[in-house]
Structure 1
């Protein structure tokens, strides 16, 4: 008996784009792991590293107006620095920043800003954060690269192809707004780091996907249409991971699939994007999507992208309450990896391992100081250094870095869950603002923990939550909690939840307990909303001009109009601001 000689199948040809991606990915991985290892090594001598950071920023900026006014040249120790510079917030820095933005040099930093990062802040007002080349090299890029190390180590397939990642924070403007000095004023996610800072490798995963650059002209201000167009293109991809940083962006996707589903399927079938023919019709994928909708009734991300492995976003604060349910929307085995504890002004901590919520301090990025979260921040607040933090406590964050922010109270509170090899690990606990009408001095972190306690005790879940203070009968006030439940709540369950929440708030906050005992606060009340209420509210904010990356969860909501938008009846003709 004879057989035909065995031949190997012809090797598939590799396109130049694939070769380029493979080469770039290899270089990217090398850089990510190198920065990860360097930041990890710095933790061996955390106090010494912090002293070197202070010495560097003092030397570099001693000749600036701020440096001369505060005697940087004579400062030798952290205590000297504390005596010379008060703890201060954005408002205290703002006059210097405005002069810099008008074109004046050598005010806060010896280095001129290249761009200005924008930040929504706790009030929604847009800040202007000067971003210098030295800041990016010393403070920003090391943590920015290192943040991706756990992802690339444990889920390497997400970097295998350009279209494996749906990056929902990537939305570079065609014509960015500029300051008087001609520098752009944009979000960090909107900056081309290669063009501006000579760091082409800093382009995030997913920024080379087919949907990263839209194939049709759009109004740059129509954020919802741009979200739709990316989602419409991505349903034809094999997405393995989503990046949002702001978890509200990722939480909106299941709602958007339902909201835009008929249009998505029609455009896939016709080969159009935003009504414009951009490719070949794909009736097979359209039919597959229709079968999914028919079989499951409600189409979820897990149905559209069955091979999603991870979500990369903030996992703490209010998001911690809905993250378990959100993760299930994408698949039972999907992992959540925490984005760094950071603000537009600078980083605080980055996860160097697979901890689901916390990271380690970025020792070489800034000089970090902390104030117990129950204390009011003041110019002369006594501060602790990072190696002095104790597990189980919450702290206000104050940092100083070479980019020109000095003893800057960023407005965030961090929690210390533990120490690893003597180094405290930090996780974002909430904004530092308080709700206080009757001496209760409630912090966001305290309310989130009380909500978690009350939900767990009753086996309940939610999709999102907000609260506000309202006047009760007489002179007392009470808190009203607006909750979109994860599943329907029975009347008895809701009543028991309120009792447990009241007790949990009293246990978490001495001020709340005293206010309730003194009858300055009465028992909280509850408004159960439709499951999609917060998603509609988020869409309304984005339709009103808020960039998706900055339309964040807000627990405390005292604005009457915004509260009514969230809790009021939905108009019969509401279309969530989307244009068909």
Structure 2
């Protein structure tokens, strides 16, 4: 037993006790965070503008602080970016996490000294929660790889700025740096394919035990390992036992990833965002991610069907229902207030509060009023892959075809297969049947001959990689939206990369 694994167990036990304490008092935990946030931000520009000194209850807060997305909060953020202190939170941010939005261009999300523990202690606690539950700590004594963006940071008004994954590289504890891969120099390479080759060079003969990254890019890494060695990942890294991921639903990738690995390994799902670390998987046996109610974020939840209403309902943790889709709203000690991060979640447990991410509030298909969401297409794909076990996919996206050259409008599923199903038409029909079961409005449109059944368009190998490369977004945490309500993505993928019979 190495020194890291030896000390990890008692620390993990302590974290587990602390987590149990706040998770058993969810409403009180959130109320404590709420009082802290209002008190600390009372004398900021935002706090003065919104009368924080008169806010005593959540009802007061809802009356005085409207819901906002990035564009609505941008005037305040611009003041912070230009160096003004005490705007959204006390002082100046420690970092800006730079992200790219579809409508806002480059976004600068503040990370303050106060909010740093939410991001980085939560990531640590996800791993320690796994150690406490399973007793497996030996992976901490071997190589740990974090597939991430470049750690090179620029500055905005003296504030270090970069991708969240790159910022994370600067926060890795000193006791883990000795076995962290890849090297800082390799992590700084911007070209993803060049970087991936260097990562393979550095890790091929290392004792890799934990690998972390979003599934599509982990798959690329595993594919390079196989191409280089002709072996399964388990034969190259016999002690590899833990895969940590976040950012996308794992299920569509699970079969192909485990096939490349050559064995099942434990996985830990996390839910990090530039705006805050929201939740993590705290159990290998219970579904859902533990919502972090005691780390500086006060959560609100808006029923999805009301999100675009003039005065949507805003609910606190004690008011949510199981099985209902909510838009996730955060208020935090980085200075985000009534802030919609764009994700939708559903509660699968209240004891403790656990969630699953169901999609993006703006990523849906409703060209005909069907309002198909990400959770539904992913569940349909999972079901079809179970029914056709010979099939395997790399990636897929779905878009409406409103004006087809012939026939009725339909949904088009653009799928990059690692292995085609034996009967592609039956596979497509299974997808359609399952989606009809999951979405009654879609079923009504098919039944009423307003839509025809969906069409699956197989794509060439590496289609999604080449598409992302053409946008300059290959690697890191970038990913193709699962759903689009227009054909901006579908027309490029279908036009350039469709398999021609």
- TM-score normalised by structure 1 residue count: 0.77
1:129 offset after TM fit, Å? 0.4
Alpha-carbon separation, structure 1, partners of 2:175 and 2:480: 24
Instruction: Write out aligned runs for 1:371-410 (5 A).
Output: 371-378=302-309, 380-410=311-341
| Residue number in structure 2 paired with 1:178 | 155
1:85 partnered with 2:85: no
Work out whether residues 399 and 407 of structure 1, in 8 Å CA contact, stay in contact via their aligned partners in 2: yes
Bigger radius of gyration, 1 or 2? 1
Q: Aligned residues, how many?
A: 492
Q: What does the per-residue CA deviation read over 1:235-272, in whole Å, with 9 as the maximum and x for residues that have no partner?
A: 1112122111x22221212332356x3xxxxxxxxxxx
Q: Secondary structure at the match of 1:184?
A: strand
Instruction: Write out aligned runs for 1:302-451 (5 A).
Output: 302-314=234-246, 317=249, 319-339=250-270, 341-355=271-285, 358-365=288-295, 366-378=297-309, 380-419=311-350, 422-433=351-362, 434-451=364-381
1:249 partnered with 2:181: no
Work out whether residues 170 and 207 of structure 1, in 8 Å CA contact, stay in contact via their aligned partners in 2: no
Match of 1:494 among 416, 424, 430: 424
1:452 offset after TM fit, Å? 2.4
Q: For the structure 1 residues 26 and 77, does the alpha-carbon distance in structure 2 shift closer, same or farther, using more than 3 Å as the test?
A: farther
Q: Secondary structure at the match of 2:84?
A: coil
| Residue number in structure 2 paired with 1:225 | 194
Alpha-carbon separation, structure 2, partners of 1:231 and 1:336: 21
1:458 offset after TM fit, Å? 4.3
Q: For the structure 1 residues 144 and 192, does the alpha-carbon distance in structure 2 shift closer, same or farther, using more than 3 Å as the test?
A: closer
Q: For the structure 1 residues 391 and 210, does the alpha-carbon distance in structure 2 shift closer, same or farther, using more than 3 Å as the test?
A: closer
Q: For the structure 1 residues 342 and 356, does the alpha-carbon distance in structure 2 shift closer, same or farther, using more than 3 Å as the test?
A: farther
Match of 2:478 among 521, 546, 551: 551
Q: What does the per-residue CA deviation read over 1:407-436, in whole Å, with 9 as the maximum and x for residues that have no partner?
A: 1111111222234xx323112222222222
Work out whether residues 64 and 110 of structure 1, in 8 Å CA contact, stay in contact via their aligned partners in 2: yes
Alpha-carbon separation, structure 1, partners of 2:39 and 2:246: 35
1:132 partnered with 2:112: yes
1:494 offset after TM fit, Å? 1.9
Q: Secondary structure at the match of 1:53?
A: helix
1:330 offset after TM fit, Å? 1.2
1:234 offset after TM fit, Å? 0.6
Stretches of structure 2 lacking an aligned partner (at least 5 in a row): none
Alpha-carbon separation, structure 1, partners of 2:323 and 2:390: 26
Alpha-carbon separation, structure 2, partners of 1:567 and 1:35: 52
Alpha-carbon separation, structure 2, partners of 1:395 and 1:381: 11
Work out whether residues 300 and 330 of structure 1, in 8 Å CA contact, stay in contact via their aligned partners in 2: yes
Q: For the structure 1 residues 158 and 171, does the alpha-carbon distance in structure 2 shift closer, same or farther, using more than 3 Å as the test?
A: farther
Q: What does the per-residue CA deviation read over 1:352-391, in whole Å, with 9 as the maximum and x for residues that have no partner?
A: 2224752222111211111233443446310222233333
- TM-score normalised by structure 2 residue count: 0.88
Work out whether residues 368 and 386 of structure 1, in 8 Å CA contact, stay in contact via their aligned partners in 2: yes
Q: Secondary structure at the match of 2:88?
A: coil
Q: Secondary structure at the match of 2:184?
A: coil
